[in-house]
Amino acid sequence: MPGVIAAGGPETAAAGAAMLEKGGNAVDAVVAAAFASFIAEIGVVHLGGSGVAHLFNPKSGASLVYDFFSNMPGLGRTKAGPLDFAEVMIDFDATTQSFYLGRASAAVPGNIAGLCQMASDYGRLPLPSLLEPALKLAREGVILTPFQAETCQLLEPLYTHTAGMREIFLKNGRMIQPGERLRVPHLTDTLTALTEEGEALARNGRLAQAILADQGANGGLLTTADLENYQVRKVQSIRLPYHDYEILLPPPSSTGGVLTAFSLKLLAQFNVGQYQHGSANHLRLLYEIMAATSRARPYWRQWHDDLPTADAIAQFLSESFVAAYAQQIQDSLNRQNASTAIPEPPGPGHTSHISVIDGDGLAVSLTNTAGESAGYVVPGTGFIPNNMLGEADLHPNGFHIRPAGQRIPTMMTPTIVLRNGQTRLVVGSGGSIRIRSAILQALSNLLDFGMTLDDAVNTARVHVEDGVLQCEAGYDAPAVAELEAMGYPVNRWQKRSIYFGGAHSVSRTENGRLVAAGDNRRGGATAAACKRI
């Protein structure tokens, strides 16, 4: 089947395109690509992580979000004792950040359950076919790209924490380098078993038993009940009009979807297309919208805690609530001075995204993360767990406080844009709280400014953090200087950076042509089936 895919690496994109060539659809493509990414993009994602996927079928007009993010572990846990939970510091050049790893940093994983469920519900090809690209990479190893090698080096304290991790990531006493072949011992056996047993492998099969035995012997929290009771959630999209388009966003557990919807409702109040892209006036409006969203976020947190989810979304996105912030923005623009932005806690930044459209217009947007990894490998499996319990930003009230079984919130925001009921754009991003600013700008660049998809994705971006406008290399220097003269705090970046996200995107143009764009900040790659991009 014809189709296009954009992903975080060439092997990932090729895996998806191969499924389209076999007659599979967009769901087959994204599932195969995701499994391949757990090897090809091992610097940012792992089999033991979790994700959120978004589907749209133009034939029926139906959309659906598959939420297979992580749950808190500990259901039925009776064993007490010391937890394997250790702090490490990561140096990001401009700053350092602490993370926690070990068995007690691992939340309930959702990847295997979610991907297998999507394939069963909507795919055309059998699971063994979808796993062929991943199995080939597991058997032969993968030549590490510069971006993946750099990410592994950045996370060296986590990726060398235990002997099992060192066996994968150390070569000749040093971290693996670009162009070197990486292999994960025993992963071939695990993936082969997955072709035979399906998602039961990670629920109560051999992999589940290995995970639980390791957790029980080494200070972990995961229990039999955690794995057996885990459910993939199928929830309805947030559907938002935006000028001549309709934007589909994921609801909670995606906090990012709700906040992105709020930002888009604000942006729709202003004629952003009247400004020159990257001008002081354009940057000023982006600053004010991002700052306003940060100020509104505490209300979302409160209402989400106190109200049913649907009621909380309705109240947060109500015309009256949005209008109050739009007026604040207009007041700041009239005064030509910066409004207040509230600091926000970041989420996991090591995230990857895959976007697919097939020849029938079926669209899938999938974002995936394992945090930074828990720093160990389950013995004999090649399975690297997540460290979603070791992210301080996801647990602002303290570690291990949330009740067992509760879904952990995420900033991941796989997004689909429609026009006249047809898929126009599929987008998403990695990058913690920068996910929504990356998506906001990619959308606006394409829909408001009429950029090509590649320009919409790869033009320099900005992000507001702690009241400062972070300006990526490539910004217009006079415009930034003018903005600063108005009193807006700015920070000029001297290079492109993964800090600003990785919005790998695919699009159906107005004349029906399918195109794809990989975000060059995060090693983006594209592939097409049956016809060239």
| Active-site annotation, residues | 351
Within 8 A by CB and 6+ apart from 256, the residues are 250, 410, 411, 412, 413, 435, 436
Q: DSSP label at 459? A: S
Euclidean distance between CA atoms 253 and 50, whole angstroms: 12
Query: C-alpha distances in angstroms, 62 versus 58, 252, 387, 418?
Result: 7, 19, 34, 12
Query: C-alpha distances in angstroms, 40 versus 136, 140, 197, 204, 296?
Result: 11, 11, 23, 27, 38
The tokens for 288 are 């004010």
Question: DSSP for 466-505?
Answer: TTEEEE-TT--HHHHHHHHHTT--EEE-SS--GGG----E
Euclidean distance between CA atoms 166 and 371, whole angstroms: 19
Phi/psi of residue 137, each to 5°?
-65, -35
Q: How far apart are the first and last CA of the chain?
A: 14
Euclidean distance between CA atoms 38 and 137, whole angstroms: 10
| Residue 95 exposed, middle or buried by CB count within 10 Å (0-12, 13-18, 19+) | exposed
Euclidean distance between CA atoms 520 and 473, whole angstroms: 13
Contact between 192 and 136 (Cβ < 8 Å): no
Contact between 384 and 48 (Cβ < 8 Å): yes
Which 3 state secondary structure label does DSSP give 378? strand
Query: C-alpha distances in angstroms, 89 versus 101, 163, 398?
Result: 11, 19, 18
Euclidean distance between CA atoms 342 and 325, whole angstroms: 14
- Nearest of 384, 388, 412, 386 to residue 400 by alpha carbon: 388
| Residue 19 exposed, middle or buried by CB count within 10 Å (0-12, 13-18, 19+) | buried
